[in-house]
Amino acid sequence: MDDVALRTVEMIAKAKNIPTDTITPESTFEQLGIDSLDKINISFEVEEAFNIEIPDEALGSLKTVGDVINGVKQLIDAKAAGTTPAATS
C-alpha cells in the first residue's frame, strides 16, 4: 500500500480500535463494523489529515476501505489540479 492508503488504514484502525493488519482495501464497512456515525467520524479524520473536503454525495457511496482510499486520492489530485472531481468512487 502507498502512503495515502497506509495512513487511511491507520486512521480507520485507530477509530475502530482494531489492528491495521486486519484491514485491507477490500474490507467492507460492514465487515469492520463501521456504522454511519463511524463513517462520519473517519471521514472527518481523513479530511483533517489530507486537508480535503469529502462531499456529502460522495460520502453516501463509500462502502469499502478501498473506496475511501481512492476517493481521498481523487480529492488530493483534484485539489492539486484546482478542479473538483465529479464523484469520488
Partner 1 sequence: MNRVVITGLGCVTPIGSTVSSFRESLFAGKTGITPIVNVADAPDGNPGVRYKQAAQIFDFDASQHLDSGIVTSTNRNTQLAIVAARQAVEQAELMKHHAPGDIAIIMGCACGGRSSEESEVKKLYLNNARAHPLTIVRTMASAGASNISIDLKITGPTLDISTACASSTHAIGLAFHMVRSGMATAALCGGHDAPLSFGFYRAWDSMRVVSPTQCKPYAADRDGMSLGEGAAMLVIETLESAQARNATIFGELVGFGMSADANHITQPQADGAAAAMRKALADGNIAIDEVGYINAHGTGTQANDATESAAIHQVFGERASQIPLSSTKSLHGHSIGASGALEALATILALQEGRLPHTAGVTNPDPALKVDLIINEPRPTGPTVALSNSLAFGGLNAVIAIKSWP
User: Which one, 35 or 77, has the nearer CB to partner 1?
Assistant: 35
| Residue 40 binds partner 1, judged by CB under 8 A | yes
How many angstroms separate the CA atoms of 85 and 88, rounded? Answer: 7
Instruction: Name, in order, each residue with C-beta under 8 angstroms of 71's C-beta and a sequence gap of 6 or more.
Output: 54, 58, 62, 88, 89
Binding mask 55-84 for partner 1 (x = CB under 8 A): -x--x-------------------------
Q: Is 44 in the site for partner 1 (CB under 8 A)?
A: yes
Q: How far apart are CA 55 and CA 87, in angstroms?
A: 8
Residue ranges that bind partner 1, judged by CB under 8 A: 35-37, 40, 44, 56, 59
